[in-house]
Structure 1
């Protein structure tokens, strides 16, 4: 009888020891994860925070390169090259958007707005690109992105961005009536809204603007699609968005951003 009770007691002690060791190993692994900072969610929060300061910590030539190469970005996967012809002084958002678009973007706020205008190699097209740095947290940016997707807000002609028409450049006649194609992207991994709007450099008006996503369809026959203006807007927006993400990931921003006058 006594030996059997002793064996039972020994098994209970062994089980308790295993339980303690198991809890310790699990706790140690979790603590190690926190200390190492290898949580994907933590990395996303860090990247989001880094993106918030890019407007004043990164040189303008990195956010808006003087020349942008668009390999396969044109109709029929033709290569494109865009040259920057103007950079707007960084500013707030007052007067920078039509009233309805300003209302849609209001929930995420406006920390700073950066804009630049490019022309293609033939100087027949002009495209304004914008980076709206918001005051929002990840949840607010995700909510806005979902709304854009759910309500297809990026395809509504009453929500087109405004161009930046710099005097003395090929874009000086690029006004509201000259907007032909556009693209808007609400990022969720950075507090930024990226957009682009394109038109002809000769100042001609456009009766039926077309969202870039529609203009890129193979069956699209409207003037913005046939002329490649949808490719201009989407191509530039995509490449500047990609460059923005690379800058956040590299986290090597320089302290003094060049200011455009």
Structure 2
């Protein structure tokens, strides 16, 4: 039995409407999906650009010959450590980097403008997923770590300079600062140029003694240099990300 023409027309109209609805849905979905993919790839590109800064810039650029801070404070680079391996970090230090891992350490020794304090500054390059690096940033505790003598990075003495005798025995204090994305950790370990010995582990744990007071030049330098290097890193990261976008 044949269907009435009205029934066929209605059926045909339903099919046409369904096809049009499907087509419109696909068209509307494409821009949204494309934008989401673009955003995802853009974030990945920016993250990759940030992680590549230590390779795209030289050590001399990341640890420049001089660093000027607010006021009249200036730090002069005395020498760059040719050893970039993570093995030069204390075991207690590298354990605290979890869930990330150290891949390279760029370091140099500086002196303050008055040549009262020398400090070895290090840039620790970290590897790990975005989530791992964010977790590291959130769990790294600079102040409490600074009281842990076992974590204190080694000094780098520079021959034929005022830091020639800057050995581990002369280390007074250290401080650190992690980048907000957990890609870089900057530290500075400081001591006096007159060769005086640093405090023992018990004094460091208690933060006792004039050498560890907030007014101590060594403490001020140890806190200032990581912030200075992080500022330089942030500028280079931003420039690299702008180029990647």
Which residue is equivalent to 1:7?
Answer: none
Task: Note the 1:215-230 alignment, pairs <5 A.
Answer: 223-230=212-219
Give 1:87 shift.
0.5
Which residue is equivalent to 1:28?
Answer: 31
Q: What SS does the corresponding residue of 2:127 show, helix, strand or coil?
A: coil
Out of 222, 227, 232, the residue aligned to residue 243 of structure 1 is 232
Which residue is equivalent to 2:78?
Answer: 85
TM (norm. structure 1) is: 0.71
Which residue is equivalent to 2:130?
Answer: 138
Q: 1:248 to 1:167 in 2, by over 3 A?
A: same
Given that residues 210 and 216 in structure 2 are in contact (C-alpha distance below 8 angstroms), is that contact kept between their aligned partners in structure 1?
no
Q: 1:26 to 1:154 in 2, by over 3 A?
A: farther
Q: What SS does the corresponding residue of 2:214 show, helix, strand or coil?
A: helix
Given that residues 180 and 224 in structure 1 are in contact (C-alpha distance below 8 angstroms), is that contact kept between their aligned partners in structure 2?
no
Give 1:19 shift.
9.5
Q: What SS does the corresponding residue of 1:122 show, helix, strand or coil?
A: coil
Q: What SS does the corresponding residue of 1:225 show, helix, strand or coil?
A: coil
Out of 87, 98, 104, the residue aligned to residue 112 of structure 1 is 104
Q: How many aligned positions are there?
A: 230
Q: What SS does the corresponding residue of 2:110 show, helix, strand or coil?
A: strand
Q: 1:56 to 1:23 in 2, by over 3 A?
A: closer
Gaps of 5+ in 2: 1-12
Give 1:79 shift.
3.1
Give 1:163 shift.
1.7
Q: 1:209 to 1:198 in 2, by over 3 A?
A: farther
Matched, 1:197 2:186: no
Which residue is equivalent to 2:5?
Answer: none
Aligned-residue CA RMSD in angstroms? Answer: 3.6
Q: 1:151 to 1:173 in 2, by over 3 A?
A: closer
Q: 1:62 to 1:135 in 2, by over 3 A?
A: same
Given that residues 94 and 102 in structure 2 are in contact (C-alpha distance below 8 angstroms), is that contact kept between their aligned partners in structure 1?
no
Give 1:157 shift.
3.4
Matched, 1:67 2:66: yes
Gaps of 5+ in 1: 1-9, 72-77, 253-261
Q: Distance in 2 between matches of 1:54 and 1:93?
A: 18
Q: Distance in 2 between matches of 1:197 and 1:108?
A: 22
Give 1:102 shift.
2.7
With 45-54 and 16-25 compared, the bigger mean Cα shift is at 16-25
Given that residues 181 and 197 in structure 1 are in contact (C-alpha distance below 8 angstroms), is that contact kept between their aligned partners in structure 2?
yes
